[in-house]
């Protein structure tokens, strides 16, 4: 009993809107392909690449500076046995006080090489930002045409379902009049219910496509693809130079940065020199004592360490960067050929559907409809003709979507990188 009272109290404590239904769905937002591509250029993934570029540019500022002078103060030679003497602590007591400055002189153009390395990394990050924009636009174009195909699939399935429902209703009337058997009426009802199930599946697919596109663009699932299918492309212009691609440029900039880093590692063998000076004040001896200092590391002298590890690592990274350039070039050339082949194949398939397959399927279906209404064709043949037309129309949507995606990929990859 106590548990029921606590449960009732908790239920009454809920806010008034806890059981209210959610608000109406957001209004559909029609989006063109150009708008989708523009939004993809500034999505979250591109923003991450842009932040990486800002960090790389900040590294240039950090690298292009000389070592900061170091201020040193000292109080020494304090005689604890005989005392410090009279007078104030600054001018009278026997304390050796000094103020000095030390500065490291970098030899071997270390600052120049360090800055060159950072600048190469920043230029690579800039090219990687452009590549990230292309990649996100490729994904957005594919998702956009997936949504457009899903929308057209819903339209086709809706029309097919309407025809199936009309046929089922006519069969029911004819059954009551004794013109068709119950078996034929049930077959038409099965086709109508099947069309309704396919419509629900097509609507779910359209929703998933809208969610995917919205996720890429940072939008909600209310998006609607409003652009028509692009015209078929039968001839391709000459391929652009792969050296202009953003990913190839990024790899080459990484190679230049790796070369500068290797030169920086070699420059470590030229030891830096630290120069210093200080003014001493020692009452009883002198109030103006000058000290000069010179510090030189003994690296590489008398068999000590000569930065072999740093140099070997920089050499390996330089070789790795060269291998990456070779790989990216190979992939870029292969992708260019593949995109061209995909576009030609998709255009030929879409053209075959539009010019031959779809018109003939419609013709066969129309002849079957006419023959069935005149009693010259059994129901099973009519249903078979309708299924064939349905399959052809849906395959036509797939063919047009494949062509549109291939064309978008080709154009995005052929466009000059910013």
Q: Is 364 domain-assigned?
A: yes
Q: Is the dihedral of CA 296, 302, 304, 310 positive or negative?
A: positive
Q: How far apart are alpha carbons 283 and 300 in whole angstroms?
A: 43
Specify if 315 maps to a domain. Answer: yes
CATH code: domain of residue 136: 1.20.1600.10
- Residue 302 binned pLDDT confidence (cut-offs 50, 70, 90): low
Close Cβ partners of 3 (under 8 Å, ≥ 6 residues apart): none
* Upper half-sphere CA count for residue 271 (Cβ side, 13 Å): 14
> Where is pLDDT greater, at 355 or 188?
355
Task: Give the C-alpha separation, 418 to 132, whole Å.
Answer: 12
Residue 145 lies in a domain: yes
pLDDT band of 135, cuts 50, 70, 90 = very high
Q: Is 259 domain-assigned?
A: yes
Residue 57 belongs to some domain of the structure: yes
pLDDT of 311 over the 90 cut: yes
Separation between Cα atoms, residue 207 and residue 213, nearest integer Å: 10
Percent of the chain residues past pLDDT 70, beyond the cut: 88
- pLDDT tens sequence across 207-241: 999 999 999 999 888 899 999 999 998 788 887 88
The predicted-structure confidence for 104-116, as pLDDT tens digits, reads as follows 999 999 999 999 9
Q: What is the mean pLDDT of the chain?
A: 87
Write out the residue range of the structural domain in which residue 349 sits: 33-66+106-269+307-414
pLDDT per position as a tens digit, 143-159: 999 999 999 999 999 99
More confident residue, 179 or 204: 204
The tally of domains found in the chain comes to 1
Rounded Cα distance, 73 and 99, in Å? 5
Q: Which positions ≥6 away from 130 have C-beta within 8 Å?
A: 246, 249, 417, 418
Does residue 19 belong to any structural domain of this protein? no
C-alpha triplet 335, 336, 337: angle, nearest 5°:
90
What are the residues whose beta carbons fall under 8 Å from the beta carbon of 33, sequence distance 6 or more?
141, 144, 225, 227, 408
Which two structure tokens, joined as six digits, stand for 48? 């991450």
CA–CA distances in Å: residue 83 to residues 98, 283, 284, 343, 407: 20, 13, 13, 94, 92
How confident is the model over 242-271, as a mean pLDDT?
94
With DSSP H G I counted as helix, E B as strand and the rest as coil, what are the percentages for the chain, rounded to 5? Answer: 65, 10, 25
CA atoms of 129 and 57, how far apart (whole Å): 13
**Mean pLDDT score, 177-184:** 82
Does residue 89 lie in a domain region?
Answer: no
pTM: 0.82
- Structural tokens at position 198: 């396919």
Among the listed ranges 185-199, 287-301, 399-413, which one has the minimum average pLDDT value? 287-301
| Terminal Cα distance for the chain, rounded | 73
In a domain, 3, yes or no: no
> What number is the average pLDDT over the span 299-314?
82
């Amino acid at each position: 009993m106590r548990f029921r009272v606590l449960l009732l109290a908790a239920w009454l404590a809920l806010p008034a809107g806890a059981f209210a239904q959610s608000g109406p769905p957001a209004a559909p937002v029609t989006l063109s392909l150009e708008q989708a591509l523009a939004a993809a250029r500034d999505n979250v993934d591109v923003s991450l690449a842009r932040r990486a570029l800002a960090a790389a540019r900040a590294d240039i500022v950090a690298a292009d500076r000389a070592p900061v002078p170091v201020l040193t103060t000292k109080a020494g030679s304090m005689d604890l046995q005989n005392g410090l003497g009279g007078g104030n602590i600054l001018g009278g007591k026997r304390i050796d006080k000094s103020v000095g400055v030390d500065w490291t002189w970098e030899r071997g153009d270390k600052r120049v090489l360090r800055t060159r390395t950072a600048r190469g990394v920043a230029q690579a990050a800039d090219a990687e930002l452009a590549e990230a924009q292309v990649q996100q636009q490729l994904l957005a174009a594919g998702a956009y045409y997936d949504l457009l195909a899903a929308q057209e699939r819903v339209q086709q399935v809706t029309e097919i379902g309407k025809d199936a429902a009309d046929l089922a209703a006519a069969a029911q009337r004819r059954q009551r009049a004794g013109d068709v058997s119950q078996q034929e009426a049930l077959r038409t009802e099965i086709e109508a219910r099947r069309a309704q199930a396919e419509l629900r599946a097509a609507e779910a697919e359209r929703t998933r496509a809208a969610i995917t596109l919205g996720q890429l663009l940072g939008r909600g699932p209310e998006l609607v693809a409003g652009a028509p299918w692009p015209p078929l492309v039968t001839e391709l212009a000459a391929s652009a130079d792969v050296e202009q691609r953003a990913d190839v440029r990024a790899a080459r900039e990484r190679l230049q940065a790796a070369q500068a880093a290797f030169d920086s590692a070699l420059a470590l063998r030229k030891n830096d020199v630290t120069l210093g000076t200080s003014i001493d004040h020692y009452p009883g001896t002198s109030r103006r004592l000058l000290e000069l200092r010179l510090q030189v590391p003994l690296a590489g002298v008398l068999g000590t360490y000569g930065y072999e590890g740093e140099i070997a690592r920089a050499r390996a990274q330089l070789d790795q960067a060269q291998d990456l350039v070779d790989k990216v070039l190979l992939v870029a050339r292969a992708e260019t050929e593949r995109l061209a082949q995909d576009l030609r194949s998709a255009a030929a398939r879409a053209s075959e559907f539009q010019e031959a397959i779809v018109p003939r399927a419609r013709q066969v279906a129309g002849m079957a409809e006419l023959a069935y209404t005149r009693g010259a064709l059994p129901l099973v043949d009519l249903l078979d003709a309708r299924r064939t037309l349905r399959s052809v129309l849906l395959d036509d949507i797939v063919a047009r979507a494949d062509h549109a995606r291939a064309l978008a990929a080709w154009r995005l990859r052929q466009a000059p990188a910013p």
